[in-house]
Chains A and B, each alone.
Chain A
Amino acid sequence: MTDEKTKLSSGKTYHDDLSIVRSEVDKCMKCGNCMAVCPVYGVEKEEASVTRAKIKVVDAVLNGQLELDDPEVYNMIFNCLVCKSCMTNCPSKVDFGKIALAMRAALVRKKGLFWLKKMIFSTLKNPAVLNTGIKTAAAMQSIVFKADKDIKAISPRSPFALVGSGFGFDSNRKMPELNSKTLKDITPEVVKPDEVKVKVAFFVGDSLNYFYPDAGLDVIEVLKENNVEVHIPKAQNCCGIPVLVHGDIETARTLARRNIDTFEKTGCDYIITACGSCGGAWQHEYVDLLKEDPLYGPKAKYWSERTFDISTFLTKVIDFKKPKGEIRSIVTYHDSCHLKKSMKVFAEPREILKSIPGLEFREMSAPDNCCGSGGSFVISHYDTSQAIGKKKALDINSTGADTVATGCPACMMQLLDNINRFGKKQRVKHYITLLADSYRKERKSG
């Protein structure tokens, strides 16, 4: 493996050089355990859908058996939710997340972002999607693929933005309303409680900012209620995951560096997130992306250990104020993939929900099965995405719950759509909203 070392010392990470993932590819025994959990395979029942097959194809590309820019190689590598379910079930602990990103980055290096964009739209198979997709195409062009270095142009955009820009995929598509005022517009940069126990900076992320500003306000309110000073820097950007998973490494790196600068300036002790993808970016992706950057590498490492999902912060870092306001509701909880499989957060949101008086918690079967969202996957592979989402909706129905809570805004959007189609009008909420509701009720009655 001296080869690998030379490459690393040359300042490259697996994002820059596909051959760096060779040892990761070799770890795969082809045992097939990924088949038991891969949501895409579960629907399609085709070997090419599952992780071990994708690893085999990367192997074939590295060996020259297949061409990197074979359109079918592209199709296969992007037919994945990057939900990381396979990684939690892998006996050999293969980091498929790395392999997938390395492969996507290699594709973009070879063919460019424009080619990738064309490929994504060429795979829109559902005519209904294509129809309305024409409009979304225009939006998407400047959203995911804008590679220009003016990061300000990127920050207010994400793949979610196009989904919510008002036009659905078909007449049944339910989306959260697009708010005219974003979370960052309506909050001051610092929210101070009377008595300050600890100072944190809230990394909002695009989806909360644009689609669920109320859930974002709930995060701030809950923190304030627990005597936590909250900084919400206006200069913060998108976390970069949407561009990263589409192989746009340099934009992802720029976003990461800018976010690190912005949060460093707050002088806070911790970064709080309320989205599994954003939190995962701070905990893992920034470290990997900036590993060979002598200035930002150590900073990324520093913040990776100080970034917490709001639920972890409340239950493990501080001892949160137990809610007293009664919430009469039957609630089930959906584990967001990135929250559970990347950030390893699953017990904490349940602990919070169960602490709320009057709330009856009912576990659904397979709560950590993916909802089928996967960022732009919901657009590019709508049929598969909906088949996965339908299973989730049926599992939610079986609990008899009136509310499904989760910890990731992308999941909230997907749940909203699939509950509308297959569910029983259950409400979809960020779990933090239920805690905030309980605090509010207590204040009202007290």
Chain B
Amino acid sequence: MIDKSIINQLKGIVGEENVLTQKVDLVTYSYDATADVPTELPDVVVMPLDTEAVQKVVKLAREHKIAIYPRGAGTNLSGGTIPLKKGIVLSLQRMNNIVEIDAANLTATVQPGVVIATLNSAVAPYGLIYPPDPGTVATATMGGSVSECSGGLRGLKYGVTKHYIMGMEVVLASGERVRFGGKTVKNVTAYDFASLFVGSEGTLGIITEITCKLIPAPKYRRTMMGIFNTLEDAGNSVAGIIASQVIPATLEIMDNKTIRTIEDFSKIGLPVDAKALLLIEVDGMTDEVVEKEAEAVIAVLKKNNCQYKIANSDTERDQLWAARRNALPALASLNNTCIVEDATVPRSRITDMLVAVENIAKKYNVTIGTFGHAGDGNLHPTILYNKYDKEETERVHKAVDEIFESALKFHGTLSGEHGIGIAKMKYLKDEIGESGIKLMQSIKQAIDPENLFNPGKLVPFKEA
């Protein structure tokens, strides 16, 4: 499908040094951070340096009906960047300029290849932050995280990516570029295109510029850890904290399996019999308010049979955070394959969901540790298994099916922050129904009629 003349035209557009065709290079763009999904080699990797080049590549691809897979750092957990149907991987990592930091309007405008942490370092001197903080902030790109609508640990208080995206420039399947939104807080001109493109997983267009909202960095914080003998006490504490009108920046939970595994892994003194652990951080602009919020949290913890610790210094805060930081590495060390799910339920059903996952682990005799963002109901049941053991892999697949079934039963959702991609496509109908699928298909067909952009992801299609 892609012959030498197309490769030469691509080289003409972006320059020879920005086109990769060697098999070794193709292997390195055949995967992302997702376990247990198929991989495929692209025909070519193209790394444009500006929007004009993106437009020309798209036009060329359209002319020859070649699939295009936009890619940032490839750290997503849904198989969102895998070139399933071969074609062009369009790596936007070399479009990595911060175009503007506008402190007066509290906005930043960036190219898609800018790493989230790089943006945060750049706005820090202005006393500002870009709050969305997925686990991969140090590596993930703005383009990728906007396309996946990344969440993170601060979702409860600060929201997720979609709450911070004010405008964009996008290259459409026609090769035209379109700009919408901008620096104004209010903007109801046209459809709310930003909402459409955020989380569209690269299926509607190529994002070439992003204008995002910044907020003043909170100046004070208090960090606490609570240890519980029952899941109910932990669940009631989460509900109690919210009921006392405190919205913590961080409200993380982990289950007994996770606690035991972390303790085995890094010996940081966690009680291995505890049924649940909460990591709570409140923050704000004045010490008094933060202190009051911390007191309110502690009052709730006391009422719920909790052993708690408060960090009195940065070192102590670091010690409390060590447990959370080690959760995924510790669990991952248990076997050669690690699936991290992100089934999400309404906050009030967290305990139900934790119990359901425990029962599923027992039923299928699989290893699952669960941790996650209790404050926003976003859990990460993490499944560890041996990929060389076929029988175990089958049990894992059944357990995953049932985890999603449970999340939906509790009026939750398939994915809180990782996206649908390839990994969760088969469950999509269970949540949004046939009519929802049809709506997605008609949007996709209207905007990308030839299914050029990231085919095989998010939007289910019958093969033509």
- Residues of A whose CB lies within 8 Å of any CB of B are 23, 26-27, 29-33, 35-36, 45-48, 53, 56-57, 60, 65-66, 70, 72-73, 75-76, 91-93
Contact = CB atoms under 8 A, between A and B. Distances in A.
Given A33-B139, A47-B74, A93 B27 contact: no
A45 B96 contact: yes
Contacts of A56: 27-28, 30-31
Given A46-B20, A47-B29, 17 more contacts: A26-B387, A29-B332, A31-B33, A31-B75, A32-B73, A33-B139, A35-B75, A45-B94, A46-B93, A53-B27, A56-B27, A56-B28, A57-B24, A66-B27, A92-B329, A92-B332, A93-B329
A57 B28 contact: yes
Nearest to B18: A46
Nearest to B326: A91
A105 to B, nearest CB: 19
Contacts of A73: 24
A66 B23 contact: yes
Given A45-B93, A93-B329, A35 B73 contact: yes
Interface in B7-53: 20, 22-25, 27-35, 47
A57 B94 CA distance: 23
B334 to A, nearest CB: 11
Nearest to B30: A56
Interface string B60-87: 0000000000000111000000000000
13 contacts: A26-B336, A33-B139, A35-B139, A45-B94, A45-B96, A46-B93, A47-B91, A65-B27, A66-B24, A66-B27, A72-B25, A75-B24, A91-B329
The 7 nearest A-B residue pairs measured at CB: A91-B329, A36-B138, A53-B28, A72-B24, A26-B336, A47-B28, A35-B139
B328 interface: yes
A59 B25 CA distance: 14
Interface in B131-151: 136, 138-140
The residue in A32, A57, A72 that gathers the most chain B C-beta atoms within 10 A of its C-beta is A32
A36 B42 CA distance: 25
A396 B69 CA distance: 40
A23 B139 CA distance: 25
Nearest to B136: A32
Interface of B: 20, 22-25, 27-35, 47, 73-75, 91, 93-94, 96, 113, 117, 136, 138-140, 328-329, 332-333, 336-338, 387
Contacts of B74: 32, 47
B136 A91 contact: no
A73 B328 CA distance: 31
Contacts of A65: 27
* Most chain A CB atoms below 10 A, which of B22, B34, B113: B22
Contacts of B117: 36
B389 to A, nearest CB: 13
B332 A30 contact: no
Contacts of A53: 27-28
Contact of A33 (B93, B94, B138, B337): B138
Find the residue from B23, B24, B329, B387 having the highest chain A CB count within 10 A: B24
B139 A30 contact: no
A69 to B, nearest CB: 12
A68 to B, nearest CB: 12
A44 to B, nearest CB: 10
Contacts of B34: 30
A23 B335 CA distance: 10
A72 B136 CA distance: 29
Contact of B333 (A35, A60, A75, A93): A93
A26 to B, nearest CB: 4
Contacts of B35: 29-30
A156 to B, nearest CB: 37
Given A45-B94, A47-B74, A29 B28 contact: no
Contacts of B328: 91
A361 to B, nearest CB: 20
Contacts of A29: 33, 35, 332, 338
Contacts of A91: 328-329, 332
Contacts of A75: 24
A30 B31 contact: yes
Contacts of A32: 33, 73-75, 136, 139-140
A314 B422 CA distance: 57
B387 to A, nearest CB: 8
A53 B27 CA distance: 8
Nearest to A65: B27
A92 B331 CA distance: 9
Contacts of A46: 20, 25, 47, 91, 93
A227 to B, nearest CB: 36
A27 B139 CA distance: 20
A70 B24 contact: yes
Contact of B25 (A23, A35, A48): A48
Contacts of A45: 47, 93-94, 96, 113
Contacts of B140: 32
B78 to A, nearest CB: 13
A48 B329 contact: no
Contacts of A35: 73, 75, 138-139
Contact of A48 (B24, B31, B93, B96): B24
B136 A31 contact: yes
Nearest to A89: B138
Contacts of B138: 33, 35-36
A35 B91 CA distance: 15
A193 B37 CA distance: 66
A57 B139 contact: no
Nearest to B22: A72
Contacts of B93: 45-46
Contacts of A47: 25, 28-29, 74, 91
A23 B34 CA distance: 19
A36 B31 CA distance: 18
Nearest to A70: B24
A70 B337 CA distance: 28
A45 B117 CA distance: 16
A70 B25 CA distance: 12
Contacts of A31: 33, 75, 136
A1 B24 CA distance: 28
Contacts of A48: 20, 24-25, 28
A70 B28 contact: no
Given A35-B139, A36-B117, A47-B74, A92 B27 contact: no
